[in-house]
């Protein structure tokens, strides 16, 4: 008669904590993209009032476009990695069922 080996509870906990750290890192990265995008937006808004530069409209438009591009790339990056994390969450240890059966 074969007895089942108990699942390694520490390993399951470690994988769950690693997954939570990955989720938090993804959120932190998105907020960094958002912060950088806002810096470019504020630079574009304050350029005309702060500095008297010729062709400041072109520089403002360039800063606004850069801000928008950074925001879009950050958003796409966030959702791409969130989907990847969700797919990997399904594969945390095939021994997970054995753990819950004990």
- Checking if the pLDDT of 6 tops 60, the result is no
Residue 99's pLDDT band (cuts 50, 70, 90): very low
Segment among 16-20, 48-52, 60-64, 87-91 with least mean pLDDT = 87-91
How far is 99 from 9, CA to CA, in rounded Å? 7
Q: Give the tens place of pLDDT for each residue, 29-80.
A: 999 999 999 999 999 888 877 877 777 888 899 999 999 999 999 999 999 9
Sign of CA dihedral 40, 46, 51, 56: positive
Where does the chain have alpha helices with state H?
A: 9-50, 56-89, 96-101
User: Which residue reads 């007895």 in tokens?
Assistant: 3
- Residue 62, C-beta contacts closer than 8 angstroms, at least 6 positions apart: 44
The pTM of the full predicted model, rounded to 2 decimals, is 0.72
Task: Give the residue with greater pLDDT, 11 vs 42.
Answer: 42
Domain boundaries, the chain: 8-101
With contact defined as beta carbons under 8 Å apart, do 28 and 82 qualify? no
């Amino acid at each position: 008669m074969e007895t089942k080996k108990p699942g390694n509870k520490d390993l399951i906990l470690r994988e769950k904590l690693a997954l939570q750290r990955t989720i938090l890192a993804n959120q932190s990265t998105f907020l960094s993209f958002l912060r950088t995008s806002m810096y470019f937006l504020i630079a574009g808004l304050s350029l005309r009032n702060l500095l008297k530069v010729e062709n400041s409209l072109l520089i403002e438009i360039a800063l606004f476009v850069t801000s928008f591009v950074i925001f879009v790339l950050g958003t796409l990056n966030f959702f791409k990695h969130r989907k990847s994390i969700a797919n990997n969450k399904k594969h945390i240890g095939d021994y997970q069922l054995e753990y819950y059966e004990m």
